[in-house]
Amino acid sequence: MLNTLPVPATQVAHSRLFDLAAKVRETHTGVITAFSDVIKYAIDCGEALLIAKELVPHGQWGKFLKRCDVGERQAERYMCLARLVKANPTSKSDLVGLTIEKAIKKLAPSKAKERRLNAKTVAASEAIQTTHLDIVAAWMPAPVEERTKAINHIGLKPLFAALPQDWLPQVEQLIAERQQSCTAVVPAIPAEVSDDLSIPGFLRRETVEDDAGGILDEPHSDEDDDELELKPRRKLKLIECKTILAEAVTDAFEALGELAFECREIADNAPENLQATERIQAFENSATELEDLEAPDVPDSIGALTLKYSIPKRRYLSRQSRANDAVTMLEACLKALADHATAQELGSELQNVIAAASGCEFPGMYD
């Protein structure tokens, strides 16, 4: 009697992944080498990656992409394009001749406008009002970094207004104790210092040589103190980053889009009595400025240019530091484009974005 036992599911999945990996490699190579139909190869590659991601075991996605010779960021672009085409099946014919970035931009709505519309829709809906139990349920498991971001997003004045009245004396006491513990004790300096021989000479007066090689006593001048520089603060460690031009542009504009959304949320949800304050107006102006920015098209011929840049290593990323990091990435892109005369238009667009982002203000919780 023939053995009719079924093939194990894991073996079937492994065989399926092997075939998918081969298809991803083939279509990815088609994207790189093809002079036309680039979008077709990219869509096919994204569809294969979406299927594979459902089959790959948890934690093994990076190894699978290495087998396919595809970077993680590039795989995300392929899958994003495949999802958008699936959601808009009739638009497939409209993408012929476009680059991948331009096709994604054509199909995807503006992130800032979409999020703003969704936020207003949710606020206007008749949803169940959030209770203190919902807030506590989200607060308790959150790490300290996320709690800090939440408090900074709320702002000092709204947070202080929500404190129970019986907490105020305790808050004042805690603030006083923290200020006292942070105050450095500086020893008193006597008004006059006696010319004691036990004090080393280099502390009591400066010595210089005359033309004959002799030693002249030169009294220490108070004016010299003004020329002394303060001890510099400890420098932040730098993180060396290496990427390609297309990914750097995408990452920078995603960061600026997130900032635009956050600023808009703060400005739109601020109490009426705070709408005219400098802090809320700064968020309003920054949101308007950043919402008008659109990611430029990066031609495939220069999208793979390698660039390097350094950003400070920080424990907590403020909005200003995130904006600075995005500007640093765009400046690195400009530097990479310096030797490419055909990319002058892209360079000009990036310069305008850098100027706009650099002029935005992101007040902190105490502003």
**pLDDT (tens digit per residue) in 162-194:** 888 778 778 788 887 777 766 555 555 554 544
What is the model's pLDDT at position 208?
A: 47
CA distance 302 to 122: 41
What average pLDDT score do residues 216-223 get? 48
What is the model's pLDDT at position 73?
A: 84
CA distance 242 to 148: 30
What is the model's pLDDT at position 328?
A: 92
Q: Specify the higher pLDDT residue, 208 or 265.
A: 265
Least confident of 39-48, 242-251, 310-319: 310-319
What average pLDDT score do residues 150-164 get? 80
CB atoms within 10 A of CB 295: 18
**Tokens coding 213:** 């090689």
Structure-derived torsion over alpha carbons of residues 32, 73, 354, 332, reported in degrees to the nearest 10 = -70
What is the band of 367 on the pLDDT scale with cuts at 50, 70, 90?
A: very low
What is the model's pLDDT at position 35?
A: 59
What is the band of 228 on the pLDDT scale with cuts at 50, 70, 90?
A: very low
pLDDT tens digits along 297-337:
888 888 888 888 988 887 767 888 889 999 999 999 988 88
Give the amino acid at 172.
E
What is the model's pLDDT at position 49?
A: 92
Share of the chain above pLDDT 70, in %: 72
For residue 307, give the 3-state DSSP assignment: strand
Average pLDDT, the chain: 76
Share of the chain above pLDDT 90, in %: 6
CA distance 259 to 325: 12
What is the band of 5 on the pLDDT scale with cuts at 50, 70, 90?
A: very low
What is the model's pLDDT at position 327?
A: 92
Q: Specify the higher pLDDT residue, 4 or 163.
A: 163
What average pLDDT score do residues 235-240 get? 79
pLDDT value at 275 more than 70: yes
pLDDT tens digits along 106-130:
887 655 555 555 655 555 554 456 7
Least confident of 94-103, 256-265, 326-335: 94-103
What is the band of 217 on the pLDDT scale with cuts at 50, 70, 90?
A: very low
Number of H helices, E strands in the chain: 17, 4
